[in-house]
Amino acid sequence: MESKLSLSEFRARLQHNTEIGSLKATLGQVRVFPVSGAVKPFYGIFDDKSFHLTTNSLSSSTPFSIKGKYKNSNNTLKVEYVVELNNKFQLLWKRYFPVVCIIAINIFFIFFARGLRRASTIVNLFLLFMAFYSRWKEERKRKKMEQKFVRIFELKKD
């Protein structure tokens, strides 16, 4: 993608909108007190050629991060980035835990609660709803973070 900003403006926006810190150090932790005065939209690290950012949140962290590189070529700033999960365990947990939970609950109802057919239906519907809602919510967080990144750094498609 190309940015409407110059290289110096892009670096200034990175510095102005990013609270510096390691993503691995705060993975899964809730950061109650930000280091800087005002809450900046992103948290992570960057240098003269690359960046690795996530959402800077006071209440909860997002499992996604934006990793990319930028360079100046032919008087235009080229930015290459990807939005990815912070670690592979989160991906496995999100995809397979709802399925394992539904199977375990059904095995419980088959072997230990034979007379509770109606309850098993309600529990299964609730678990299916929660599985789809959690996936929808995480995808919404990912899109929202990417839109904020594109808006702040004024990116446009090539």
CA 41-13-148 angle, to 5 degrees, is: 40
1-5, 48-52, 64-68, 84-88: least confidently modelled range: 84-88
User: What are the distances in angstroms from CA 63 to CA 66, 114, 117, 133, 154?
Assistant: 11, 39, 37, 16, 24
Question: pLDDT for 84-120, tens place per residue?
Answer: 887 778 777 877 888 888 889 888 888 887 778 778 8
The answer to whether 64 touches 81, Cβ cutoff 8 Å, is no
SS3 48: coil
Sequence spans of domains, the chain: 2-87+145-156, 90-132
Instruction: For residue 35, give the amino acid letter.
Output: V
Q: Which CATH number describes the domain made up of 2-87+145-156?
A: 3.30.310
- Average model confidence (pLDDT) for the chain? 83
Residue 122 or residue 29, greater confidence: 122
